[in-house]
Amino acid sequence: MTYRIDGLQYANWSEKIFRQMRQGGLDAVHVTIAYHETFRETVLNVERWNRWFEQFPDLIMKGRWAGDVRTAHETGRTAIFFGFQNPSPIEDDIGLVEVWHDLGARFMQLTYNNQSLLATGCYEAEDSGLTRMGREVIREMNRVGLVVDMSHSADRSTIEAADHSQRPIAITHANLHSWQPALRNKCDDVVRAVTENGGMMGFSIYPHHLKDKSDCTLQSFCEMIAMAAERFGVRHFGIGSDLCQDQPDSIVEWMRTGRWTKSIDYGEGSAQNPGFPPQPSWFTDNTDFPNLVDGLKQVGFNDIEIAGLMGDNWLRFFDENFTPDQKEPES
C-alpha cells in the first residue's frame, strides 16, 4: 500500500479544491490554520474547518494520527492535519502547546521569517539561535507530539532545533539553497542537521523557491530532489508543495506583514510583483500530483523510492511523531 501526502498547503479552501484533492489521489494534507493569529483567532479557524468536515464528509476528514491517513485512503477521502506557520497561537504560554495538540494541531513553525519568542527567522540580519523559551517549548512539543517545523527559520536556529529536539523535526516546505539561492531555501548544513537527526523535508513548488521561478521545469525540480536524495538519503524527503491556490493577492500582505509592521514587506516578491506568482504549468492544482510521479520516474527513481517521496516517508514520520512521548520526563 502506498500513500500520497502533501506536507503543506495554504489554499483558499472550497468544495472545488477538496474535489481536486480527491482527483489528485491525496490521502492527507498538512494545512496552515495560522500565520499571525492569536489563540482565539486560530480557534475560529478550527471552527471553520469543523464546519467543512460536516459539509463534505465524503471528501475530507479531520486528521489526528497517522492511522487517519490509512482510514482516509481506504474510504476515498483526504485527511486534513492542522499546523501553524508561526508560534503566535501559543502566545507567550507554554501550556497552550498541549492544548493545541489536544485540539488537533500537529505542526508548529518556531518562526515565520522574523525573530519570534522562540527562534530567529530567515529574514533577520543576525541569527541568535534558539531562545530560552524556544528550548523549553521544543521540549514540551516533543512531549505532547507537536512537530517542530523550521521552514521559515534561519540557519543557526534550525540546526540548534534539530540538535536540541529529542524527536525528529521537519522542514515542511523548502528546497535546496544550492539549487536555487532563495532566502527560504536550505543550505546543506541545515538539511544535514535535520536529516541526520531523523527529520523530514518537503520540497516546495511555490515559484519563489524554484529555479527559474514560474518557468521552472518538472525535470529541473525532480533533478533537485535526486540531488538531495543522493546527498542525504531518499527516506528523509517528501512533497510540501506550499500550494496557495485561489488565494487573493491581498493574502500575501497578511502572510508577510501580519500586525508587526505598518509598511508593506514584499518578502520573496518585489514591489513590481507583490502578489502570488503563477504556478509552473506542471503543477497548478491538486489534480497535477500524478505529474510528479512521472517526473520522478524520468530522473531515475524506482517505484519504492517514488512511493516514499510521494507520501510513504511522511506517513512513517507521522507514525513516529504525532503521539505523545512515552518516556519519563527529564528531571
**Rg (the chain; Cα; Å):** 18
Long-range contacts of residues 49-53, Cβ cutoff 8 Å, at least 24 apart:
49/80, 49/82, 52/13, 52/18, 53/80
pLDDT tens for each residue of 27-45: 999 999 999 999 999 999 9
Q: Could you tell me the three cell numbers for 211?
A: 529555479
The whole-chain average pLDDT of the chain stands at 95
DSSP, collapsed to helix, strand or coil, labels residue 297 as: helix
Region 103-132: what's the mean pLDDT?
A: 97
Answer yes or no: is pLDDT of 59 > 50: yes
pLDDT tens for each residue of 252-303: 888 888 989 988 775 655 444 568 999 999 999 999 999 999 999 999 999 9
Answer yes or no: is pLDDT of 112 > 70: yes
**pLDDT at position 252, please?**
85
Residue partners of 201: CB distance under 8 A and separation at least 6: 170, 171, 172, 174, 186, 191, 194, 195, 228, 236, 237, 238, 240
**pLDDT at position 83, please?**
98
Answer yes or no: is pLDDT of 15 > 90: yes
Answer yes or no: is pLDDT of 328 > 60: no
Domains of the chain: 5-321 (3.20.20.140)
**pLDDT at position 331, please?**
46
Percent of the chain with pLDDT over 90: 89
**pLDDT at position 271, please?**
45
90 Ramachandran zone, left/alpha/beta (phi>0; psi -120 to 50):
alpha
Q: How far is CA 316 from CA 92, 231, 290, 305, in A?
A: 32, 20, 21, 14
**pLDDT at position 327, please?**
67
**pLDDT at position 263, please?**
84
